[in-house]
Chain A
Amino acid sequence: MIKMEKVTKVFKGDVVALRDVNIDIGKGEFVFLVGPSGSGKSTFIRLLNREDVPENGRIFVAGRDIGRLSGWRVPFLRRNIGYVFQDYKLLQKKTVAENVAFALEVIGKGPQVINRQVPAILELVGLARKMDRFPHELSGGEQQRVSIARAFVNRPLILLADEPTGNLDPKTSVGIMGLLERINEIGTTVVMATHDRSIVDSMRQRVVELDRGMVVRDQARGVYQ
Chain B
Amino acid sequence: MFSLRYVLRETGQNLWRNVLLAVATVVTVGVSLAMFGGFMLFQVAVDGATARWQDGVEFIVWMNSGDGSAEDVSVRNQLSESPGVQRWEYVDRRQSYEEFREFFEDTPEVLEIIDAEGVPPYYRVVPVDPDPDVVEELGSQFKGKPGVRTVTFAGDVIRDVQNLSNRTGRALFIGSIVLLGASTLLILNTLAVAINNRRTEIEIMRLVGATKWFIRVPFMLEGLVQGMLGAVVAMTTNALLRNYVIDQFSTADGLQLLAGFKVDDAELLQVNLLVLAIAAGVAVFGSILAVSMHLNE
Question: Of B1, B2, B201, B212, which one neighbours A75 at CB under 8 angstroms?
Answer: B212
Complex contact A78–B200 (CB within 8 A) = no
B200 touches A91 (CB 8 A): yes
Q: Are B207 and A83 in contact (CB under 8 A)?
A: yes
* Smallest CB separation, B15 vs chain A (Å): 16
Nearest chain B CB to A41 CB, angstrom units? 17
- CB of B203 within 8 A of CB of A106, answer no
Query: What residues on A are CB-neighbors of B173 within 8 Å?
Result: none
Chain B 83-123 interface 0/1 with A at a Cβ cutoff of 8 Å (1 = within):
00000000000000000000000000000000000000000
Pair A110/B208 contact, Cβ less than 8 Å: no
- Residues 51 to 99 of chain A near chain B (Cβ within 8 Å): 51, 71-72, 75-79, 83, 89, 91
* B interface list, Cβ under 8 A from A: 1-3, 6, 200-201, 203-212, 214-215
Q: Is A173 an interface residue (CB 8 A)?
A: no
Contact A105 B6, CB 8 Å, known A72-B212, A75-B212, A91-B200: yes
Q: Which of A94-130 contact B (CB under 8 A)?
A: 102-103, 105-108, 110
| Bound complex: CA A212 to CA B6 (Å) | 44
- Asked if A75 meets B3 with Cβ closer than 8 Å, knowing A91-B201, A108-B214, the reply is no
Q: Is the CB of B3 within 8 A of A108?
A: yes
- B-chain residues with CB within 8 Å of residue A83 when the two chains form the complex: 207-208
Contact code string A118-145 (vs B, CB < 8 Å = 1, else 0): 0000000000000000000000000000
Other-chain residue from A72, A78, A108, A110 in contact with B207 (beta carbon distance below 8 A): A78
Contacts of B200 in A (CB 8 A): 89, 91
C-alpha spacing A103/B6, complex, angstroms: 12
Residue A3 CB within 8 A of the other chain: no
Q: Which 9 A-B pairs have the closest CB atoms?
A: A79-B209, A108-B1, A78-B209, A106-B210, A103-B208, A75-B209, A83-B207, A75-B211, A106-B205
- Chain B residue nearest to A92 (CB atoms) is B200
Chain B interface mostly helix, strand, loop or mixed? helix
Q: For residue B1, which residue of chain A has the nearest CB?
A: A108
Residue in A closest to B215 when the chains form the complex, CB atoms:
A106
* Chain B residue at smallest Cβ distance from A79: B209
Question: Which bucket holds chain A's interface residue count?
Answer: 20 to 34
Q: Which A residues lie within 8 Å of B214 (CB)?
A: 106-108
A-B contact pairs, 27 of them (CB 8 A): A49-B207, A71-B212, A72-B212, A75-B206, A76-B209, A78-B208, A78-B209, A83-B207, A83-B208, A89-B203, A106-B6, A106-B204, A106-B205, A106-B208, A106-B209, A106-B210, A106-B214, A107-B208, A107-B209, A107-B210, A108-B1, A108-B2, A108-B3, A108-B214, A110-B3, A151-B208, A154-B208
A146 to chain B, nearest CB (A): 12
B residues in contact with A77, CB < 8 Å: 209
* Smallest CB gap from B210: residue in A: A106
Are A91 and B204 CB-contacts (below 8 A) given A105-B6, A108-B2? yes
Apart from A76-B209, A78-B209, A108-B1, list 19 A-B contacts with CB within 8 A.
A49-B207, A51-B207, A75-B212, A77-B209, A78-B208, A79-B208, A79-B209, A83-B208, A89-B204, A103-B204, A103-B208, A106-B210, A106-B214, A107-B208, A107-B214, A108-B3, A110-B3, A151-B208, A154-B209
Whether A102 lies near B204 (C-beta < 8 A) is yes
- A150 CB contacts on chain B under 8 angstroms: 204, 208
State in angstroms the CA–CA spacing of A83 and B208 once bound together: 8
With a CB–CB cut-off of 8 A, which chain B residues contact A75?
Answer: 206, 209-212
Cα–Cα distance between A31 and B205 once the two chains are bound (Å): 26
Minimal beta-carbon separation of A170 from chain B (angstroms): 27
CB-CB under 8 A from A151, the residues of chain B are: 208
Q: How far is the CA of A137 from the CA of B3 in the complex (A)?
A: 30
